[in-house]
Amino acid sequence: MDRGSLAGQVALVTGAGRGIGREVAVGLAAEGMAVGLMGRSRDRLVDTLKACVREGARGVVVSADVTRPAAVREAVRTVERDLGPVDLLVNNAGQVDGAEVPLWETDPGQWWQVVETNLRGPYNLLRTVLPGMVARGRGRVLNLNSGFAVRPDGHYTAYATSKAALLRLSDNIADSLRQHGVVILDISPGAVATDMTAGIPMFADRQEWGSIPYTVGVLADAARGRFDRLTGRFVHVGRDSVEVLLSRAEHIVERDARTLRLRPYGADDPLA
């Protein structure tokens, strides 16, 4: 895979109407990528498209709910018809629990909506985009994940569970994708100021936020292939030193680190 310029490649970004998704789309457009913008609000997507066009990029807007397979298939067909085959898929669309409450006090419908958006949504995109990438022998997938995936949290059970499942999904398919020249990574931006995080009570008094431009830069580097050696693994932009992470890439792979695993209780643990 080319690890230099992104010019001429095609990116598909979900949840591109606002927040990190919008900034990622504009950032990739500035790198010369054509951008397919997917989301539920056409007006917001059009605003993002205008910003991408100002960067000199081609783009197309596709309104679709990522939880609906038929809508996703049609959206991907439109992007590939107008822009060309997808080189980079950015699974960004996501939701968070509607209330900071324990599981037994959650709204069942909203809880499952979060899981569907954060897990079924990426699955639908993967199921639609990966066949083309595999056939062409190249492609990259970046899943926007969260630190909630790797630590327990009793008040955001839908979000934490869905993000952990997404990380596990990437781990499950990384080896088979690697054989076809396709890379998949889960990247957490950390706590950055967006409309979604602004509505999370635990962040109500937060004064220091992570840098969205820095996150966009890391994602662009991932799109260029800088993190290909870490395929199937978790990168935390908010806490990782990128240079340190890259310097330890071989060690991380050898130790099977940055994946979800059971920790054995000792050498005699049958699961060790």
What is the distance between the alpha carbons of residues 266 and 113, in angstroms, rounded to a whole number? 39
What is the distance between the alpha carbons of residues 267 and 259, in angstroms, rounded to a whole number? 20
Report DSSP letters for 66-121, one per residue. Answer: TT-HHHHHHHHHHHHHHT-S-SEEEE------SS---GGGS-HHHHHHHHIIIIIH
Q: In terms of DSSP H, where are the helices of 225-262?
A: 242-247, 249-254
Q: Which tokens belong to 252? A: 């991380």
In the chain, the N- to C-terminal Cα span, in Å, equals 36
Sorted by sequence, the CB contacts under 8 Å of residue 246 that are 6+ apart come out as: 226, 227
Query: Do residues 262 and 271 make contact, with C-beta atoms less than 8 angstroms apart?
Result: yes
Strands 10-14 and 234-236: unpaired
State the catalytic residues: 159
